[in-house]
Each structure stands twice: as structure tokens, then as C-alpha cells.
Amino acid sequence: MAVLSAPPAGRWPGALYRHRIGLAALGVAGVAFVLYALTLAPGLTWRNSASDGGDLLTAAFTWGIPHPTGYPTYLLALRGFSAFMPFGSEALHGNLFSALTASAAIGLLFVATVRILRALRVAERLDDRYILIAAGVSSLSVAASRELWSQATVTEVYALNALFVSLTLLAALGLRDRQRAGETSWRYGLGIGLLSGIAMGNHLTIAALIVPLLAWGLLGGGARALRARHALPIAMGGVLGLSVYAYAPIASSQAPALNWGHPDTVQGFWWMVSGTVYQGYAFGVGGKELIDRLITSADLLFAQFAFLGVLLGLAGLTAVWAGRRSLVVVQLVAIALLVVYAVTYRTVDSFIYLIPAFMLFSIWIAAGALRLLAGIGELRRALPFLRFARRGVIAGVIVVAIFVAVPGFSLATNYGRLDLSDDREASNYVEAAFDAMGPEPIVFTRTEETVFSLWYQSYVAQTERAVMPVSVPHIAFDWYWDDLAQQFPERMPDSRPPGAQDRVSAIIDHNLGIRPIYEADADIATFPEFRLVEDGVLARIEP
């Protein structure tokens, strides 16, 4: 410890040396935040698979319930963040929240990477600066990676999930060190469990990381040294953290505007938490399609880190294996679980679930870069012309080359596509739709983009217009019909027909000639008994 507490003479000022990891982490997170702020969507957006943003925003700002699995941690965190924002719309707040949490995830990933690198044999003969540089380059590679970047500028749960990934990794490292030293306390275990439960309140797929990483941490002192008192506080903290799901029945009991499944009943709560409506997507891919998706997931690795990044990661894997073999096993288990779920989940955006896997891979990139820097001596002996160059100069050239080839390559190839700073497609659509509608209008919607964005505009952004948005895909659910009847009693029929199309027709028949009725998705609408008249971005329904 004396080596770490005293700075090498002439290199680090004392205060900077003592806080170098924290300052470097802030610097890395700051760079990431600047990137995300420059490319942030200014409001509601459909880009980057973010059409769910309107649903999440509506739920968060009406104390409501979004689509399963409810995401209570995200809703509460976003609502709390927005309370301190003195400017901008709720949609902008959601995008900024993603930028902030993704940046924090990068800064904490840097800290975790430094801790892992310091335990490797390859780091023993290197100055601490090389470790910080290697961790910095790898963390910035994640920050500029296509998938995380795409989620850091829109309203979605995956940036916050990335933050929980970094926190879980740090918690597991700390737990293993404490178990190895026999210093685990109830308070520490309870805190880790609490963190884990709250993280699963944001997105349940993080369990693929939490379970193997915490098991690895608990086995830090060996299986024989493991006691019930070590695992019990973690389990208790986990249950306490999962109590965040109590938000769902409490919020649902207040009859909010958005109330998927009515989880204030046992049946409704299980429908929401278990994702019953989406269970058909899970493990729904097989045969040739499964092989194609596996190939796609491998291609995505190169898309995130370029060829050199993947090469460094594979080289770093061997370095981490030599120093912390059990950690590599745990990482591989977590990555395998994430890959299996992502490639077999039948949606076009399921590969976003691989972001935690890419974060774990970045640790190997750092180890690979460190291994390359440690081999400068051998490189100088193999290439005689390098003998006249100073070691620091060679190291600088290597670092610059890695930075240009990995995060730099991602910036150059993805900036144009991921820059959402001028994206107003969704905002322009809902504003134009509201401008076109008459008083007390009813608008039928059918796609995720139009349903969720019109929900947001109706229930959050322009509540004074009293727009009644009707989601046709939801109308078959009795709970949705009941919600509409409660919110707009004068616009809903007294009886509830059995079929979805009959319910749509009943609403039209009840209001036609009294209130203006519109269709948001005329190209896929089916109204054989009515005609559609183009009216701006909408179509007006007429007899």
C-alpha cells in the first residue's frame, strides 16, 4: 500500500496522484457525455429503436404503468431526474437522462477495468499510467460503440441498464476481495443485494450478469469458506430491492391514464412482471434463422470495436485468463447467457440486449492494449530502428493508433447515422396531427410509433386538447377498454363488444357526426363501412 500512497517523484503532484483514478474516470465520463450531448435527440424520437420512448415517458409523467415488465426503477429514476431539470420538455429530459446514465456507466466501467488490470501479471512491470491509459481507451471504445451510443441519446431503459452493469461489476470485485480477506459485512452484502434488486427493477435481463458475478464474488474465499451469513444479507437486500415493483400495484390503484394490465390485481401483476404478452418472442428463433442471427451477433462485435479492437480483445482474454481465470469463466458465462437470449428473442431490436456483453469484452480490449504496451521492449529488440526511439514515444504512437482504429473508427463511421441532433420527425408528426384535429377528437392508432407518440402528446405534452387516442392493437384487452371508458365516458359506448374490430366500429358509430374521428395509420387501417379522407398527416373517418 505504501507504493500506491506515495507518488513517484517528479511525475504526479500528490493530490492528483491520490485521486488519479477518480479524476480519470470523471474525464472519461465527461468525454462520453460530450459525445452524447452533441448527438442527443432534441425531443420525441422514433430513431434507434426508441419508439417505446413515448410509452415510457407517458408512464413516468402520469405515474402510470408502461408495457411489461413495467420498469419501475427506470420510471422513478427518470421522474426524479426530471424534477431537477429547469428547462426543456419531458421528452428532452428522457433523452438527457440516458446520456447522463450512459456516461456514468462509462466512468464506472473505467474504474472496474483499472481494478482488474492491476491484478494481472502483465501490469506488474508497467507504470500505473499505462493501466489508466489502457482502461481509458477501452472505456471510450465502449462509449463510441454503436449499440450503447444509439441508446445514450434517446429515451429507453438500456443506458440506465448499462450503469447497473458497471455498478454490478464493481460490487462483485469488491465482494470477492472482501470474501478473500474474510472481511465481508452484513451491511456490504445488504447493499449489494439492494443494488441487484433495484437493477432488476429496470431490466430483468441484467440477472444474466448479476447471478454469475455475485456467485463469483461470494466464492472469493473458496467454497469451503462460504457460509450462509455471507449469502443471506445479499438475498435479503435483493428482496428489498425488488420491492421497487410495488410501484406497479400502488400506481395502478390510482387509475392513471396509462395502466397496462391493471397490476393492482394478482393476475394483472403477474401478467405485467412476467411479460406474458411477449413470452412468445422468447426463444422463438430456431433453424437457419438462429444460425443467421448468431452470425449477426458476431458481426456486431466487429461493428462495435472494429477489427483491431476485436483482435486486442482476444489477445487480452489470454492475459486476463493468466491472472484472473475464474473471472474470465464468469464473464464467458454471462456473455453466453446474453447472446442466447438476444439471438433467440424474436424482435428486430433484441441485439440491444448485447450491450452488457460488449462492456465485458471491453475489459479484454484494455488487457490486450496493456499487453501490447508491456511488449515495447521486445518490439524494440525485434525492430532495430526502434532502438533510437524513447519508450514513451513508442507507447504514445501505439495508444494513438489504438484510439484512431477503435473509438475513432466508430466515430467516423457512425456519427452521421447516430447524430439525432436534428431529428424532429416524431415531434413534427404529433404536432402536425394535433394541429389537424378538431375539438374533442378521437384518433385511432396502430403502430408503435403512432400509438406511443400520440399517447405522450395526449397525456403529457398537450393535455388541454382532450384528445382521445385509441390504440387498435390494445382494444382487444378488457382492461384497456375499461380505461378508455373511465377517461372518456361520453365518448365510449355503454356496451363492450366481444371482438377487436367490433369494438373499433362501436366507438366510431357512437361518435360519428358528433365528434371528429381520425385514423393515424391509414395505409393499414381496415374500415370497409367507412371512408377515409386525407387530412394533413391523418385521415378523417367519414360515413
Predicted confidence pLDDT, tens digits, the chain (543 residues): 333 334 454 455 666 667 889 999 999 999 999 999 999 999 999 999 999 999 999 999 999 999 999 999 999 999 999 999 999 999 999 999 999 999 999 999 999 999 999 999 888 778 889 999 999 999 999 999 999 999 999 999 999 999 999 999 999 999 999 999 888 788 999 999 999 999 999 999 999 999 999 999 999 888 888 888 889 999 999 999 999 999 999 999 999 999 999 999 999 999 999 999 898 888 888 888 899 898 988 999 999 999 999 999 999 999 999 888 999 999 999 999 999 999 999 888 899 999 999 999 999 999 999 999 888 777 667 667 666 677 788 888 899 999 999 999 999 999 999 999 999 999 999 999 999 999 999 999 999 999 999 999 999 999 999 999 999 999 999 999 999 999 999 999 999 999 999 999 999 999 999 999 999 999 998 888 899 999 999 999 998
Does 312 fall in a domain? yes
Burial class (CB in 10 A: 0-12, 13-18, 19+), 498: exposed
Classify the C-alpha dihedral 387-389-391-394 as positive or negative: negative
Does 6 fall in a domain? no
> What's the confidence (pLDDT) of residue 3?
36
* Residue 362 and residue 505 in one domain: no
Q: 341 — phi, psi (to 5°)? A: -70, -45
- Cα–Cα distance between 504 and 444 in angstroms, integer? 9
Q: 538-542 and 531-535: which strand pairing? A: antiparallel
* Residue 351 and residue 326 in one domain: yes
* Residue 464 and residue 537 in one domain: yes
> What's the confidence (pLDDT) of residue 354?
97
* Residue 445 and residue 395 in one domain: no
Domain-terminating residue out of 386, 417, 448: 417
* Residue 246 and residue 110 in one domain: yes
445, β-bridge pairs: 471
* Residue 366 and residue 485 in one domain: no
Cα–Cα nearest to 399, from 308, 304, 306:
308
First-to-last C-alpha distance (Å) of the chain = 82
Domain-terminating residue out of 367, 399, 417: 417
* Residue 356 and residue 442 in one domain: no
Question: Model-level pTM?
Answer: 0.94
Domain extent for 495: 425-542
> What's the confidence (pLDDT) of residue 227?
86
3-class DSSP state of 443: strand
**Strand order through the sheet with 468-471:** 468-471, 442-445, 517-519, 538-542, 531-535
Contact residues for 392 (Cβ-Cβ < 8 A; gap 6+): none
Q: 427 — phi, psi (to 5°)? A: -60, -45
- Cα–Cα distance between 60 and 39 in angstroms, integer? 24
Does 29 fall in a domain? yes
Count CB-CB contacts under 10 A for residue 308.
18
Domain-terminating residue out of 399, 417, 435: 417
Copy the grid coordinates of residue 405: 482504429
* Residue 430 and residue 447 in one domain: yes
**What domain count does the chain have?**
2
- Cα–Cα distance between 416 and 121 in angstroms, integer? 41
Q: 442-445 and 538-542: which strand pairing? A: unpaired
Radius of gyration from C-alpha coordinates of the chain? 26
Does 12 fall in a domain? no
Copy the grid coordinates of residue 418: 447516430
Count CB-CB contacts under 10 A for residue 155.
30
Give whole-number Cα distances, 423 to 45, 117, 397, in Å. 7, 40, 38
What does the DSSP 8-state code read for residue 259? B
* Residue 293 and residue 184 in one domain: yes
* Residue 119 and residue 253 in one domain: yes
* Residue 177 and residue 103 in one domain: yes
Instruction: Please report, as a single letter, which amino acid is at residue 389.
Output: A
**Residue located via cell numbers 363488444:** 497
CA dihedral 262, 265, 269, 271 (to 10 degrees): -70
Does 295 fall in a domain? yes
Contact residues for 228 (Cβ-Cβ < 8 A; gap 6+): none
- 3-class secondary structure for 11-35? CCCHHHHHCHHHHHHHHHHHHHHHH
Does 107 fall in a domain? yes
* Residue 43 and residue 147 in one domain: yes
Extended strands (E) in 337-474: 442-445, 468-471
Give whole-number Cα distances, 202 to 75, 207, 496, in Å. 8, 11, 35
